[in-house]
Structure 1
Amino acid sequence: MPNPIFPQPEAPAAVSPIRVLLVEDHKMVAEALGAAFEEFAEIDLVASVDSLAEGLAAAEEHVPDIVLLDRRLPDGDGIEAITKLRDVSPTSRVLVLTGDANSAIAARILEVGGAGLLLKSGLLDELVTAIRGVAAGDIVIEPELLSGALAMLAGNPGGAIPVLTLRERQVLGLIADGAGTDRIAGELRLARNTVRNHVQRILAKTGTHSKVEAIAHARKNGLLERP
């Protein structure tokens, strides 16, 4: 019987695995990733398909947390399919795998709502770290590519110039430097939930829908300058 005076501590809540859909037409790569993901309890590969058509159907069926998407597929351009993927599974975030990358490719991905870009030549640990980051709401792109991509996107028209607090500008500045939630929390000595709350307020004030849009808007309007 439980002791009413000295109650037992509650067991920690189980963490749900990150549900991943892989869209990759190279069978060897797909099989290698599938086998590798089995070693990570935090990743649940819900489906592996080799075309955009199958990817759209699988995304609608499984509603994965992450769609790991090859950029070049037999039936089309993966980047052009991001909007369709988000239409059939709005809560899914898309991480693009590619053999080559530049700022223009990164800008295309961000413009259509993608959450990141990773080179296929990278290490498995880098991919797993990227999946974790994207699942946590981060944008995962090499800082140099991200900087160039944001410069391209900054030319898009934005809304009225918002008034951000000093803390909001600090958070936005770190995001623009490529920092994820954990790094921002560490540098500013904030809780992760507090960082997320700041991000939500920044998005609301700037009238944007993602961190990338907020950064582009802020750069255009000088909001990343020191207060």
Structure 2
Amino acid sequence: MSNRPFNLNADLLLRAYRLGLFPMAESRRGRALHWLDPEARGVLPLNDFHIPRSLMKTLRSGRFEVTANVDFSATIAGCAAARLNRPETWINAEIERLFTELFELGFAHSIETWENGRLVGGLYGASLGGAFFGESMFSTATDASKVALVHLVARLRLSGFVLLDTQFITAHLARFGAVEVPRANYHARLAEAVDVPARFVAAPDAIRLAREIETLRRLG
């Protein structure tokens, strides 16, 4: 189903997510939004997350500084930007506007990866109860988006989230343990998750965060 955006706001967007729908545009310049509810949904189990050994070395090296909710606008802009290997994206101006509104209301979050003070990767998504809907990620430095994903999962676990929706499965996500579940299964999980009283913690205690990442390593 598609429609031109008309009086679409954050409240309506959250209602759509509660029903299992999410929006995508045909292109960066396109105005119409398509509402999707795929037969198979990508889910990244928070209790069965795999960190590749080489990535764990990067995490421990201190090469990147990682923050959350520090520069949401730059993160979503990075996700929307064209790249050599991805000349077109599905994030148009309307999606940027809606998610910025969600962010200002506390229902959207970003993870930023920095190298030498420069934003080199990150991701963003929406949250509703104990469900987090991962939207997009970007990277201009090796492993930058992967590091952001690890930090997202660690924060979600520390914050009491129970569902991480990835929408679709990619080879990149499959390496971390993402799986596809049937639509009915996803809707059942979603109905339970949105009633969980989770609260996204952007800046958890550094020691707790480091311990959680080590726990993730052992899970994988």
Q: Judging by fraction of residues, say which structure has more strand.
A: 2
Larger Rg: 1
Q: Is the structural similarity TM-score above 0.5?
A: no
Of the two structures, which has the highest relative contact order with CA contacts closer than 8 Å and spacing of 6 or more? Answer: 2
* TM-score (structure 1 length as normaliser): 0.30
Q: Judging by fraction of residues, say which structure has more helix.
A: 1
